[in-house]
């Protein structure tokens, strides 16, 4: 019987635990350990920091969903690893043995490398940071001033930096105070849109065009020296031979992306991590020195981007992390069966960035040169796709296991609400624009529908719409993970098919540089 410990309950750890338990069944034990008792969809943090999402929309207690799959859960973080004894020590004093360990711990902000970064800037890396950022932003809009959105040298997740700046632009315009708020982006990249990948001129041109239209100033090749209460002090690195220039940018609200490092327990484990505590793995996501340890997600050591005057690290994405999860799970299962490892990591990255009401999608494959596919597309469909992907991912985490009977929880909840409170005059529960769909009903079914609508105090059409939405939500609980993925792909195709040819936004396709 294999005993597998998954360290982390985030976008890598939870899907990995689901897949491992489904593959092992009763013959294997899967234990998830985490310093947090909730699942958190990190890519939506910028929306929460703007007040466009509530915390409850993107985070929820994870224990019950793991228990539904017979996965043990210990809400206590790692404090030490003992690879030789195959054991982890937790903050609550427990020691947990394993046959295989999957590290999906995420990362910590290394704010200590820049003076004043922790004290004077805000962040959207963790939920607690995001909560404080939103509170600070609410206070800021009452007395607005300059905003700085930046990233330090050695930062690696720069797409959300641009996303957040453009969300700020959209929100401030809605509030009618945009002209009172200069926005400056400070980045270590040689140009906007480099992202640690060295992307093509079309990518750069598109992003520069969007930023210019939004009146957002960009300072590139910037090394952040320190942050005071009122300004960011930087050094600008010019072309070779042109020297350096010191500068400062004033602010009243400052959001910064720091460099990342592995958690303390990983940094303290010999021969496991690189200089910043991120796990070194081979092409099979396996530790070369500790073969029972695998890793997936942002805790993995990434390559440094070459050819930049200020160091920039290679990013990861939810899309790439899910590919890592699939590879790591397949390789753990192969190792437990004493089979050769056959699932190398696919170097492919995809991002969906919200630009307010618009969006930009980027695909890079492989994600480090030489790459043979590279395209960037912009349009309102990307904004919608990001919203839908958030819903898809969260629903997948909440999904009941594909075995056993599924209960009609959504319908039961709806009927209880309708018969208790009534729904006369209520809008569609999604709040979205509605469309008609012709559905033939037998006379008996139609009469029953009208009667139910009557006793609930709502119009038959509105009642039917809400009942159908609840039924579809319950229907998904019967689907396997593969069926859900097929459902998501089909939904994407339908969304794209319905888009008008003359949709707002621009679209580019480019080959490898």
Per-residue confidence (pLDDT) for residue 484, from 0 to 100: 74
Per-residue confidence (pLDDT) for residue 497, from 0 to 100: 62
What's the mean pLDDT in 365-394? 51
DSSP for 374-394, written as a single string: EEEEESHHHHHHHHHHHHHHH
Q: What confidence tens digit (pLDDT) does each residue in 302-349 have?
A: 877 667 899 998 877 777 888 899 999 999 999 999 999 987 665 544
What's the mean pLDDT in 295-302? 91
Per-residue confidence (pLDDT) for residue 198, from 0 to 100: 73
> What CATH topology corresponds to 2-107+262-346?
FAD/NAD(P)-binding domain (3.50.50)
Closest CA to 492 of 353, 381, 359: 381
Query: How far is it, in rounded angstroms, from Cα 265 to Cα 87?
Result: 12
Query: How far is it, in rounded angstroms, from Cα 125 to Cα 340?
Result: 37
What's the mean pLDDT in 268-280? 94
**Percentage of the chain modeled with pLDDT above 90:** 50
What's the mean pLDDT in 236-246? 78
Q: pLDDT at residue 199 above 70?
A: no
In this prediction, residue 446 has a pLDDT band, given cuts at 50, 70 and 90, of: confident
DSSP for 196-264, written as a single string: TTT--HHHHHHHHHHHHHTTEEEE-SEEEEEE-SSEEEEEEE-STTS-EEEEEEE-SEEEEEPPEE--H
In this prediction, residue 472 has a pLDDT band, given cuts at 50, 70 and 90, of: confident
Query: 256-265, 318-327, 383-392: which has the minimum mean pLDDT?
Result: 383-392
Per-residue confidence (pLDDT) for residue 352, from 0 to 100: 43
Query: 67-76, 99-108, 358-367: which has the minimum mean pLDDT?
Result: 358-367
Query: How far is it, in rounded angstroms, from Cα 69 to Cα 23?
Result: 12
Q: pLDDT at residue 410 above 70?
A: no
Per-residue confidence (pLDDT) for residue 267, from 0 to 100: 95
Question: Three-state SS for 37?
Answer: coil
**Structure tokens belonging to residue 264:** 């303390």
Q: What confidence tens digit (pLDDT) does each residue in 107-137 have?
A: 999 999 999 999 999 999 889 999 999 999 9
Q: What confidence tens digit (pLDDT) does each residue in 29-80 have?
A: 999 999 999 999 988 898 899 998 889 989 999 999 999 999 999 999 999 9
The better pLDDT of the pair 424, 58 is held by 58
The better pLDDT of the pair 36, 463 is held by 36
How much is the mean pLDDT over the chain?
81
**CB-hemisphere CA count at 13 Å for 312?**
29
Per-residue confidence (pLDDT) for residue 503, from 0 to 100: 42
Q: Which residues of 113-145 are buried (b: 16+ CB within 10 A; e: fewer)?
A: ebebbeebbbbbbbbebbeebbeebeebeeebe
Domains in the chain: boundaries = 2-107+262-346, 111-259, 409-476
In this prediction, residue 374 has a pLDDT band, given cuts at 50, 70 and 90, of: very low
Query: 38-52, 245-259, 331-345, 472-486: which has the minimum mean pLDDT?
Result: 472-486
Task: Let me know: does 281 contact 295? Beta carbons within 8 Å.
Answer: yes
The better pLDDT of the pair 305, 8 is held by 8
Per-residue confidence (pLDDT) for residue 179, from 0 to 100: 96
Per-residue confidence (pLDDT) for residue 242, from 0 to 100: 65
* Domain 111-259 homologous superfamily, CATH: FAD/NAD(P)-binding domain (3.50.50.60)
In this prediction, residue 416 has a pLDDT band, given cuts at 50, 70 and 90, of: low
Q: pTM of the entire structure?
A: 0.73
Task: Let me know: does 351 contact 364? Beta carbons within 8 Å.
Answer: no
Query: How far is it, in rounded angstroms, from Cα 310 to Cα 222?
Result: 7
**Residue 257, phi then psi, degrees to nearest 5:** -100, 115
Please report which residue ranges of 399-497 form alpha helices under DSSP H: 409-421, 443-456, 460-476, 481-497
In this prediction, residue 486 has a pLDDT band, given cuts at 50, 70 and 90, of: confident
């Amino acid at each position: 019987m294999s005993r597998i410990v998954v360290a982390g309950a985030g976008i890598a750890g939870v899907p990995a635990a689901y897949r491992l338990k489904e593959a092992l069944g009763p013959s294997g034990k899967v234990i998830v350990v985490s310093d947090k008792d909730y699942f958190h969809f990190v890519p939506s943090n910028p929306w929460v920091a703007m007040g466009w999402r509530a915390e409850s929309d993107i985070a929820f207690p994870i224990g019950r969903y793991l228990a539904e799959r017979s996965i043990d859960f210990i809400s206590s973080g790692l404090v030490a690893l003992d690879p030789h004894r195959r054991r982890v020590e937790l903050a609550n004093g427990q020691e947990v043995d394993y046959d295989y360990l999957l590290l999906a711990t995420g990362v910590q902000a290394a704010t200590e490398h820049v003076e004043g970064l922790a004290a004077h800037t805000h962040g959207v890396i963790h939920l607690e940071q995001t909560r404080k950022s939103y509170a600070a932003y609410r206070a800021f809009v009452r007395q607005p001033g300059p905003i700085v959105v930046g990233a330090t040298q050695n930062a690696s997740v720069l797409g959300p930096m641009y996303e957040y700046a453009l969300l700020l632009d959209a929100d401030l315009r809605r509030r009618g105070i945009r002209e009172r708020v200069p926005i400056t982006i400070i980045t270590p990249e040689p140009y906007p849109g480099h992202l640690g990948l060295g992307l093509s001129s079309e990518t750069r041109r598109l992003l520069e065009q969007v930023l210019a239209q939004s009146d957002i100033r960009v300072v590139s090749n910037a090394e952040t020296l320190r942050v005071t209460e009122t300004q960011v002090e930087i050094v600008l690195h010019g072309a070779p031979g042109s020297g350096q220039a010191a500068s400062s940018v004033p602010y009243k609200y400052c959001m910064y992306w720091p460099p990342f490092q592995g958690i303390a327990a990983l940094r303290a484990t010999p021969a496991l991590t690189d200089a910043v505590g991120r796990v070194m793995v081979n092409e099979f996501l396996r530790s070369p020195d500790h073969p029972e340890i695998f890793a997936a997600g942002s805790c993995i050591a990434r390559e440094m981007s070459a050819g930049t005057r200020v160091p920039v690290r290679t990013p990861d994405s939810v899309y790439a992390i899910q590919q890592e999860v699939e590879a790591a799970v397949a390789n753990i299962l192969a190792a437990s069966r004493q089979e050769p490892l056959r699932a190398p990591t696919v170097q492919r990255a995809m991002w969906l960035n919200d630009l307010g009401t618009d969006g930009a999608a980027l695909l890079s494959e492989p994600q480090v040169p030489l790459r043979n596919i590279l395209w960037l597309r912009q349009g309102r469909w990307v904004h919608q796709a990001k919203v839908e992907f958030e819903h898809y991912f969260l629903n997948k985490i909440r999904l009941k296991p594909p075995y056993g009977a599924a209960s009609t929880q959504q319908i039961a909840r709806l009927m209880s609400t309708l018969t208790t409170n009534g729904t006369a005059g209520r809008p569609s529960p999604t709040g979205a624009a509605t469309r008609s769909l012709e559905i033939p009903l037998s006379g008996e079914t139609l009469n029953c529908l009208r009667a139910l609508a009557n006793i609930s105090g709502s119009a038959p059409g509105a009642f039917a719409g809400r009942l159908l939405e609840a039924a579809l939500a319950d229907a998904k609980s019967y689907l396997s993970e593969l069926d859900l993925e097929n459902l998501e792909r089909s939904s994407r195709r339908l969304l794209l098919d319905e888009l008008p040819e003359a949709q707002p936004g621009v679209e580019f396709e480019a080959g490898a540089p």
